[in-house]
Amino acid sequence: MHPAKVKRDQVRRLTDLPNIGPAMTSDFRLIGINRPDQLVGEDPLRLYQRLCRVSGVRQDPCVLDTFISVTRFMDGEEPQPWWSYTKERKHRYGSL
């Protein structure tokens, strides 16, 4: 869902989260995440690494940006577009 449309008190499904559509929902399910509340306190880099391992494919680094956006949202931050985290991801994690 587009970040501007997210209402925190109405988040029940993964697709209710900012930046999450059907494809990312499938990715979350691959790594055992079925509900938004399971993202509270999760490390986005570990989620990304788990997805790479389970899928057998190196995921696009933008997936990590998306994981950062949703874990931060679930930890209380305001919703942001996933690309708002690209610069931080590059600085913090390099090219992966």
User: Tell me, what's the pLDDT at 42?
Assistant: 97
Q: Is 19 left (phi over 0), alpha (psi -120 to 50) or beta?
A: left
Distance separating alpha carbons of residues 84 and 90, to the nearest angstrom: 11
User: Tell me, what's the pLDDT at 8?
Assistant: 85
Q: Could you tell me the two tokens for 17? A: 């989260």
C-alpha closest to that of 19 among 91, 89, 85: 85
Is 3 among the domain residues?
Answer: no
Is 4 among the domain residues?
Answer: no
Task: Provide the domain count of the chain.
Answer: 1
* CB contact set of 26 (below 8 Å; sequence gap of 6+): none
Q: What is the CATH number of the domain that holds 65?
A: 1.10.150
pTM: predicted TM-score of the whole model, two decimal places:
0.94
Is 20 among the domain residues?
Answer: yes
Q: Which range marks the domain in which residue 31 is found? A: 11-93
Q: Tens digit of pLDDT per residue, the chain (96 long)? A: 778 788 888 999 999 999 999 999 999 999 999 999 999 999 999 999 999 999 999 999 999 999 999 999 999 999 999 999 999 999 999 877
Is 5 among the domain residues?
Answer: no
Is 77 among the domain residues?
Answer: yes
C-alpha closest to that of 44 among 80, 73, 12: 73
